Structure 1
């Protein structure tokens, strides 16, 4: 009877361990953009929308991944020492480019919702571009709000500094 209980306990433990190790095919790695604060529910997804991770501080977003915030969520991201981004509620943000090698190159597609960004001045080698379906905003040393509302369009509000706005080409 004791060996049956031990075998059962071993099987349950092995099954639980297997579930923990196979939770998701999404990779949470070092590098990338770090989640510094989460209020409400926000998720990280990849190309398969069913494959998602509930975000918490310390998780890092990698190139090609997407963040989705819930109806009462706010998500703070630390890109570098000089770049901070806040993703507001009901937003979908894809990280098209994250290159943190010799200089920072960040490309974000705001599919819907709103984000606020603060980029410290004098980051000459850094490239920070936010796109919607119809415009690009290229930023250096500024604070701004970028809002994409389906069927209403895109709004950019400069809070400090300058933002270069251009019509988006297909690239």
Structure 2
């Protein structure tokens, strides 16, 4: 009997990982908040991502986005309905939710919008200059000897050793 494993839950709440083995570096970084509200995570460019969440029935003032260090939390709570509203059928979910995403690799929220019940959150990787790789030039030995005339021998200067004392 062959077993199959579904790794999809590993990808659900983490944005910025492009390879599966990276997921195992932070096994406790994901939340298990269920599957509501449904959402998609897209890679839209080399250093750009988009989270889209279906939040039908919520207004922008009902939704809160908070980024604290490497965690993005999206939460929402509906305002109470005015008295006298009587539903015969209630199919649009109005329950409060809170979902957290672990943002890795210096991802920052650059924009968010709500249109036709779809919340979109635009993310961009912004690596600080101090953490970016720097190319270091290597001087060639021939280049340093070229500055010295060929008829003069090279000399290494050092401190002379102190005379040894007899015991």
Which structure would you say has the larger Rg?
Answer: 2
User: TM-score band, normalised by the shorter chain?
Assistant: under 0.3
Instruction: Give the TM-score normalised by structure 1.
Output: 0.27
Comparing both structures, which one devotes a greater share of its residues to strand? Answer: 1
